[in-house]
Every structure is written in C-alpha cells, then in structure tokens.
Amino acid sequence: MPTISPFPAMRPVNSSLAMEFIRFRLEPQGTALEQFGYAHCREYLTHLLDSESYMTGKPAIYLYGYTPKLGRPSLGIWAVTNAQDFKTGNIISCEMGSADRAELAYEYRKTVGMEGSPVLIGYEQDDQLSELINLVLSSKGGRSFRDEQGVHEIWKINREHLIEKFRAAFSRLSSCYLIEGKDRVLAALQLQ
C-alpha cells in the first residue's frame, strides 16, 4: 500500500525567469556539480527563494502528459511518496542501481537540502485510478506547451477531495514498482 502526498511546486514569479530556466536546461554547460558544486546550488536556490524570484504554491498532485511527434504518448502522476515504502516492500525495485550514483544523490540531497529529480514508479492497471485520471483529464484545467519533439501537458490537482481520492486509490494498490531512481530513494533513506 504505497503512500502518496501532494507537494508545493516551485515556479518562477515572471515569464522572463521561466524562459531563462528553459534556456539553461536546453543549453547546459555541464552538470550543476561541474559548474558550481552542490554548495553553490544550495546558495543559488536560497537566493531565488529569498529574493522572491521563485515561489511555492499550495501543495498539489500533478498529472503530466507527453505526446511525442513520433512514438506513443505517456502520462504520469507527480506526487511525493514515502521512501519507507521502498524499505517495507510496498514499492518494489525493478532497477539495479549503482553505489556511485547513490553516493552522488546522497551528497546532493545532504548539501542542497532537497531532491530536484523525480523517481519513476509504475503500478498495475487499476480501474479506480484510471477513473480519477480520466476525471482530471476531462476537466479542461490543463496547461500545455509544444517543443520541437512534441506536446507537454500538465494538470494541477489541489482540491482536497480529489487529493484524498488519489491517496485512497494508491493505498489500495498491493504494490508499486520503482522503475527509475533507486539511487535517489537510497539517498533519502540514508538521510532519514
């Protein structure tokens, strides 16, 4: 029975900051570690929050959809999950993982104070969860944007009754599967 929770997403206050972030992501000059080191990442994040350049919103769960020009569309749920679910077997790993990557993830999390990359968790087909997802997708509340590869869409779920329905649906699943991100889960467990 995996546990999920909403989280307060960070976003730029104005569109020029958003475009600068996108440019940074599209034209990387090496990894953040190579450019600045973890301590600088933490300082920069603190600066962005203190200067009110970035803000956090009300905790929410998100649906993210991607439709590539070529290939199959995909849809995922963005939420916080409990690393203990991995330890207790409610989330089962499908990935080997690497000690080096786990150590890097641990150092990053310890120094920066947060994790910036999601893990990918899969689950078996569930009618109730599919019904909830279809309800959200039909709400016309999503935002979308295109890039050269395809269309990205995101739906924010911040109404408490819907969040509780998603939590209940996940709690009824017998297990979920960690498909990608074992290094980050191991780092989270080490820091608990």
Going by DSSP bridges, is the β-strand pair 80-81/4-5 parallel, antiparallel, or unpaired?
Answer: antiparallel
Average pLDDT over every residue of 142-159: 89
pTM for this entry? 0.73
Q: What pLDDT score does 162 carry?
A: 96
The separation between CA 47 and the C-alpha centre of its own chain, rounded to angstroms, equals: 22
Percent of the chain past pLDDT 90, that is, above it, reads: 23
pLDDT tens readout for residues 67-95? 999 989 988 888 888 888 888 888 887 76
Structure token digits, residue 136? 């959200």
**pLDDT, the chain, mean:** 78
The CA distance from 143 to 159, in Å, is 17
* Residue 171: its H or E element: helix 160-172
Helix axes 160-172, 127-137, angle to 10 degrees: 150
Average pLDDT over every residue of 113-127: 78
Q: Which amino acid is at 43?
A: E
Q: Scanning the structure block, which residue is given the tokens 């109404």?
A: 159
